[in-house]
Amino acid sequence: KQKFAEKAAALFQENRAMLKEHGDKIIDQVAIRQLYGGMRGMKSMIWETSELDAYEGIRFRGYSIRELRKLLPKAPNCKEPLPEGLFWLMLVGEIPSQEEVNWLTEEWKKRGELPARTTAMLDAMPADTHPMTQLSMGILSLQNDSVFAKRYEEGMPKNEYWDAYYEDSMNLIAKLPRLAAYIYRRTFHNNEHIAADPSLDWGANFAHMLGISEHADFKSLMRLYLTIHADHEGGNASAHSTHLVGSTLSDPYYSLSGGMNALAGPLHGLANQEVIKWILEMVEELGTDTPTNEQITEYINQTLEAGKVIPGYGHAVLRQPDPRYIAQRHFAEEYIKDDAIVSIVWKLFTIVPPILQDLGKVKNPWPNVDAHSGALLMHYGLKEFSFYTVLFGVSRAMGVLAAGVWSRALGMPLERPKSMTSKAIKEFLKKS
């Protein structure tokens, strides 16, 4: 917190001076196409924690996923990074030492308990409530304890906003694995819960509380999974929603719940459940888990002819295979031998792109992060795919909340862009 405070105070001053000198410089222009086209590519916000390159993929504070798998501190006997280290990097801007990461692990353990009202609320929900609905509501049920909301009501001055936002963010991230594991166990395992293991780090403890496999490789997978899904610059729908809600000075609980509602859409995070559902339906329809290339091609064409998208393929910004997909593939190559669903995922990599390319309209025919994740989870026994987006959400919380602390520290104002009617566009065209 101290390290963050020093960095944030310095950047706040730098930004002030920069804006005074350069505030009127034009950095982008807006085409009418972008107003109708989901604001693709429009430079429109500040996001310190990560930045995306269309061809190289995401970089967290300048580091690629490949570099981070090497550089971030690790748990004993594990090759994958501790997600705690990525949170530190996003917040502080420096690769943490092992000692610093251990401190964060311990800090999240201290803050991890769920209040009884949260579990009581979840228990009152029908068991078939989608896990993402339960996640969003579970997050909101924690809002009673918001430090930010309480201190705001007491008259907190602006220069303390980040401090309260940091405390809430730390509390919320600490609790998310328990909340998510509670949702999983109540929905799919008879409400039989598994206590947290105080000896484990954040990601491994989550794997333990899910209770589907005590295999050390599954703990490694969770650490990798929670690291690579954390942030994808500011414009993606879950990050942008969290940012927008936070800009009203709603606290982190309201903001993250809003972000999770965006993540729950099939064009965004829900695509990870859609991918595996689509593959399993193919296997069932064909009656084999070793389909030929011809059979897969026909199934893809059927999907497209039915007017549906191929889940896990395409991206609003990326124009190459997603490095998060590649990282998961490398994990599978190292840890998983002969898994039928993983093999189908790899076959799709060669079959889907040329078909999408031939449609002539898809800007990126390559797989995104969601094309691979479900096959890895299935392999270790986490087969209930309606839960998959919750895992994405637990990870995404780290990026969007770290970015939220930065937004409060940099004094980011209420977000309020300009909208136009189609009539106004026509009038503009007449005049131009």
User: Which residues here bind ligand MLT, judged by CB under 6 A?
Assistant: 232, 236, 268, 316-317, 368-369
Cβ closest to ligand MLT, residue 270 vs residue 369: 369
Considering only residues 368, 373, 395, 407, which one is a binding residue for ligand NMX as defined by CB under 6 A? 368
Q: Assess 362 for contact with ligand NMX (CB under 6 A).
A: yes
Catalytic residue at 370?
yes
The torsion of the CA quartet 230, 233, 235, 240, rounded to 10 degrees, works out to: 50
As a whole number of angstroms, the distance between CA 152 and CA 162 comes to 12
Residue type, 306: A
Cβ closest to ligand MLT, residue 108 vs residue 313: 313
The structure tokens listed for 165 are 């936002």
Q: Assess 361 for contact with ligand NMX (CB under 6 A).
A: yes
As a whole number of angstroms, the distance between CA 88 and CA 106 comes to 13
Q: Assess 353 for contact with ligand NMX (CB under 6 A).
A: no
- Close Cβ partners of 153 (under 8 Å, ≥ 6 residues apart): none
Residue with tokens 């509390």: 171
Among 347, 350, 377, smallest CA distance to 366 is for 350
The one catalytic residue in 208, 243, 315, 372 is 315
Q: Assess 252 for contact with ligand NMX (CB under 6 A).
A: no
Q: How far is the CB of 65 from ligand MLT (least distance, A)?
A: 12
Considering only residues 235, 314, 323, 353, which one is a binding residue for ligand NMX as defined by CB under 6 A? 314
Compute φ and ψ for 200, nearest 5 degrees.
Answer: -100, 155
Cβ closest to ligand NMX, residue 61 vs residue 268: 268
Pair 139, 261: CB distance under 8 Å: no
Q: How far is the CB of 169 from ligand MLT (least distance, A)?
A: 19
As a whole number of angstroms, the distance between CA 358 and CA 370 comes to 22
Q: How far is the CB of 307 from ligand MLT (least distance, A)?
A: 22
Q: Assess 268 for contact with ligand NMX (CB under 6 A).
A: yes
Catalytic residue at 130?
no
CA–CA distance from 225 to each of 86, 220, 325, 389 (Å)? 12, 9, 11, 12
Catalytic residue at 268?
yes
As a whole number of angstroms, the distance between CA 320 and CA 54 comes to 7
Cβ closest to ligand MLT, residue 161 vs residue 366: 366
As a whole number of angstroms, the distance between CA 331 and CA 333 comes to 5
Which residues are registered as beta bridge partners of 74?
81
The one catalytic residue in 168, 231, 322, 370 is 370
Q: How far is the CB of 242 from ligand NMX (least distance, A)?
A: 14
The one catalytic residue in 208, 240, 268, 372 is 268
Cβ closest to ligand MLT, residue 147 vs residue 316: 316
* Residues binding ligand NMX (CB under 6 A): 267-269, 271, 309-316, 356, 361-364, 368-370
Q: Which residues form the catalytic set?
A: 268, 315, 370
